[in-house]
Structure 1
Amino acid sequence: MSLLLGIDLGGSNVRTVIARDGDVPSILGRDERPTPLTGGPDVVSAIADSARAALAAAKAAVRDVAAAGCAAPGPLDHMRGLVHDAPNIPGFRDFPLADRLRDALGVAVFVDRDTAMAAVAEAVAGSAKGAHDFVYVTISTGLGGAIVSHGRMLRGATNTAGEIGHWPVGLEGPRCGCGSYGCAESFAAGRNLAEAFGVDDAARVYAAAASGDARAERLVARAERALENLAIGLTNVLNPSLIVVGGSIAEHEPARTLEPMRRGIAERAFKVPRDAVRVVPAALGRDVGMLGAAIAARERNSGRGEWFL
C-alpha cells in the first residue's frame, strides 16, 4: 500500500493526514492537536505523534508511507527544508525541519511554504486545475499567497515571492507585523481585524457589521477596499487568468472578500488583463495545505515537481 503523509504546521495547530496515492489523494486518516510553544524539538515530537495517530486511524504503519510533505510558515528554504523564521512558533529560527522530521518519522520529508503547498493542491486537484497563470490568495488569520506564471511557481531571489499580504494598498494605515504600514494584511487579515475591533475572532467583527455596528462596518469596509486594491494590482502587474481565493474568512464571507475583489477589477483594472481574469473560490477548504503537502511529497520523491520548485 503506497501512502502519503501530509502535514500542516500552523502557529496554533498541527494537522496531519494519511492519504492513498492517486491523481487526487484520498484521505484515510487524520489528526489535529495544538502546536507546542516550547521550542523546535517539542514541535517535531508533536508532529511525529500526530502522524502516528493519523496512521493508526488509517490502520496503517510508517513502512506504508512513501514520503511526507510539510506545509510550514515562512520564510524558508524549500530545497533544504530549513525554516528561517516563524515568529508564531518559538524556537523556529534557521530550524532544519525536514531533517528533524525525517529522523523522527523514518521517511523522506519535503518542506515548503504553506501558501505554496496550497497553490500546488489547487493546481493539481482544485480550482486552478489546468491553469498556467494564476495567483492563489488566502484570507484567514493572515493574508498570503503564491504566484504561478507560465506554468511555474515564482520563487524570487530569496523564495519570498508571493508574500502578497505585504503588498502596499494604502498610503497610510495601521502598522503591519512586518514593520511597514499600508499592507493588505494590516487591513484585511483576520488577526488584524479582530485586534482593531478589540475581540478575539474576526468572525465577531463581520457579525457585528452585519448587525449594524458602525465601527465594525467601517473596519470591514476598509478591509474590502484593501482587497479591491490588491486584486487590481495583481491583475495589472501579473496578468493571471485566475485569482483563486481561499482561507477561512474568504470561505465564510465571500460577499465581503471575493465580491469586492471582482468589483475592483471590473471598475478599475487595466482593460486587457481585466478581460482575461476571473476571481474564483478555492475548492479544497481546510485540507488544502495537507493535500498540497501530500501531492508535493509524491512529486518531489519521484523526481518530478519541477514546476513548483
Structure 2
Amino acid sequence: MQIILVSRHLKAARTVTIMPRHLVMALFVFVVLVFSTSALFSWLSVHLRLPLVEDLMLSMQQQEAKKTRDHLNNNLQLMATRLGELQGKVMQLDTLGERMSGLVGIKRPPVADVAKPGQGGPYIAAPMSAIELQHEIDRLAGEVEQRSDDLAFLEFKLLEKRVKDRLLPTILPVKNAALGSPFGHRSDPIAGLRSMHEGMDFSAETGTPVVVAAAGVVLSAAYHPEYGNLIEVDHGEGLTSRYAHLSRMDVQAGSLIKRGTQIGAVGTTGRSTGPHLHFEVRMLGVAQNPAHFLKQGDEYALVKRR
C-alpha cells in the first residue's frame, strides 16, 4: 500500500510505501501498549490504593455479595416452603390413614408416650442452615413415601373388604319379618320327629318381597318337591345361598344380580305349613348357620324374635 504526501512545504510529493510487516508491527506495538498500560494501572491501584479504584472494586464486590445473598435467601425460602409442604403432607396422610384404618378395621399401633425430663429456658430462635433444611426435607420425603405406601395398602384392603361385603350374605332377605325356626336340630313341623334344620325361617305374609342377601349369579330358579319354588345363588369361592317356599320367582338361571335385588316373594310352596321364607347359606355344599353371616350386617339386630 502506497501513501502520497503532498504539502506546500515540500517541493515535490513524497510517496510512502507501507508493507504488511509494517501493519503487523504496528498492531503488535498497540497491543503491548494497551497491556502494559492496563498492568501498570492495576499495579498502581493495588499498591498506591487509589480511592477511585478502591471504591469501584468495593462496589463490584458488594454487588457480587448481594447477588450471592439473594440467591442463597431465595434457595432457603424455597427449601423452607418445600419443608412446610412436606410437613402438611405427612399430617394429611396420617389423618387419612387413621380414617381408612377405621374403615378397614385395622388397628394402628398407638404411639407410645415417652416421659421427657423437665426442660425450660428462654426462647432463642435458631434458623436451620441449608444443609439442615435439606436433611429435614429428605427425611420428610422418605416419610411421605412410606405413608403413601401404607395408604395404598389400606386402599387395597378397603377395596377387598368392600368386595367381600358385597359377596357375603349379610343383609336380611326379608325386611320386617319375624324369626321362625333357627338353624340346628328341631322337631320336624310335619313329621314331629327330631330333624336337622339347615337354614333359618323368616315368617311373613305371602307376597312379601324377598331380596338376595349378597351379589352373585343365579344358579337355578325352579320348583323343588320339598323346597317348593327355590332360587339358589352363587356368590363365588364356593359360597351359595338358597331361598325356598317362594310364591313367585322374579329371576332366571344365569342372571347376574346385585346385593339387595328383589328375586321373589314369600310363599308356602313345597313342604311347608304356612307362609315363610326358608333361607340357607352353604359353603362347598355344606350347610352353614346363616346367623353367622347376617350378624356381620347392620340389619340382624332388627329381626323380630318370637
Fold in common (TM above 0.5): no
Q: What TM-score results when the alignment is normalised by the length of structure 2? A: 0.21
Q: Which has the larger radius of gyration?
A: 2
TM-score calculated relative to the size of structure 1: 0.21
Q: Which one scores higher on RCO, CA 8 angstroms, separation ≥ 6?
A: 1
